[in-house]
Structure formats: structure tokens, C-alpha cells
Amino acid sequence: MSQRPVSNESELIELIHSIEEPAPERLHRRTEALIAHHARTGSDTRTLGLRLGAVSALVAVAALVVVLVLGAGSGGSGSFSLQSATALALHPTSAAAPHESKLRRAQLTATVDGIPFPYWSERFGWRSTGSRSDRLDGRTLKTVFYSDSSGQRIGYAIVAGTPAPHIDGGRKSRRGGTSYWLSTSGGARVVTWLRDGHLCIVAGRGLSSATLLRLASWDDRGSPA
């Protein structure tokens, strides 16, 4: 980020307004204090320019830090980990819920690299309520959200691309020849496994690992894995 130093109040205000992410409130207060001090004491223009230049540089740097932090927390490019992936799988919805497929009644219309999300409404009472798509470490991570009649919520994420990113840790459980890994992250219970070489993640708060494993191991043909 390249920014020439500002030399007066109007230029500094314009700079702050041009930054898309808000700078910390204390920097705004410091800027206002400098301007007020200049008005009271009649400080020379050169001194004010130097001070404003320093403050504007801090504002720009602070804004860059905010952008990077928010980007990492909202699905921007960052290192892939179970914690970061689970956080995205528990984020609020940002798109409509996919519907049941008319061709394969145990599936939804949403897919990732041809891998469909399951339709759980009739069998388990978990209906799809929304979806979102994020980027993490250069990969697309698509999540479909499900809710039951009591308001409990589950995020089912599929990570695009193979080979799947490697995730360590957790307790291993075998179902129908597939290995599932049970763990916790950020207060949520998590189940991870591979479907056709793609990493899948089911996460939810206030739910048992057994419940998540039961749902995760129900394959896309509508039968227990």
C-alpha cells in the first residue's frame, strides 16, 4: 500500500473515508485531537503536516491489518486447518437452501465437483436451511446448513479439489469401510472423512458425536454407509 503523506485536515478526512475497512477508533480520536490542537495553538503548517502524515500512515497500516484479519475470518485465503474449516462450516448462511434432487431423492441439488449433498429431511428430520461458499487456502469450501424441529443446526461442508487437505487428530471410527474422524473445534463437535477423495466436514454445537456420525455415514445413495 503506497500513500503520500497528507498535509491538511481535508486531505486526512478524505483518506480515512477512502479506506473500505474502518480504522481503530483510537486513531480517529488521535487525528481529531491533533486537528483541534492545531486550531487552538496555531501550530505551524509543517509541524501539523508531519503529525498528520504519521497518523495517516498508521491509519493505512491499521486498515490493512483489519482487512487481513477479516479476510482470514470470512473465508479469504489462509492456511487450511480443521479449526478454520470448521469455523466456516458454522458461519451464518449467505445463500438459499438447495432443494431435493428430482432425479436422486436422497440427494440435494447442490454439489461440489460432482459430489452431492445429502437430503436428510424425510429420513432424519433435518431440512436444508441455507448454504454458503468460501475460499480457504486456494480451495473452495461449500457448506449446506441443516436444522431440525428443535432448532439445532448442522453445517455440512465439502472441500473442492484433490488430493484432499490433510487433517490430523481426533478419534477414528469405521463405518462400512470408511474411516471417520471425531473431534472438537471451537466448542463444536466435528466429523471429517473422505468422499471420492474429497474432504467432508460435518459440524454442530450441542450435538453428540454419535448423532453427527450417524448423519455423516449415510451415503449419497440413501443407505447407511
Quick: pLDDT tens for 69-108: 334 334 444 578 999 999 999 999 999 999 998 877 789 9
3-state helix, strand, coil in the chain (%, to 5): 35, 30, 35
Range of the domain at 100: 82-216
The model's pTM is 0.65
In a shared domain, residues 107 and 187 = yes
Residue 86 lies in a domain: yes
Strands 198-204 and 153-159, by their bridges, are: antiparallel
- Which of 134, 127, 98, 115 lies closest to 215, judged by CA? 127
| Whether residue 34 is found in the same domain as residue 107 | no
Residues 87 and 64 in one domain: no
Question: Which of 73, 94, 126 finishes a domain?
Answer: 73
Would 223 be classed as within a structural domain? no
> Per the structure, how many domains does the chain have?
2
Contact 132, 95 (CB under 8 A): yes
Q: Which CATH number goes with the domain that contains 205?
A: 3.30.200.100
Q: In this structure, is residue 225 part of a structural domain? A: no
Domain boundary (73, 93, 109) is at 73
Identify the segments of the chain with pLDDT beneath 50: 1-4, 6, 13, 15-24, 28, 48, 52, 55, 57-77, 220-225
14 & 54 share domain: yes
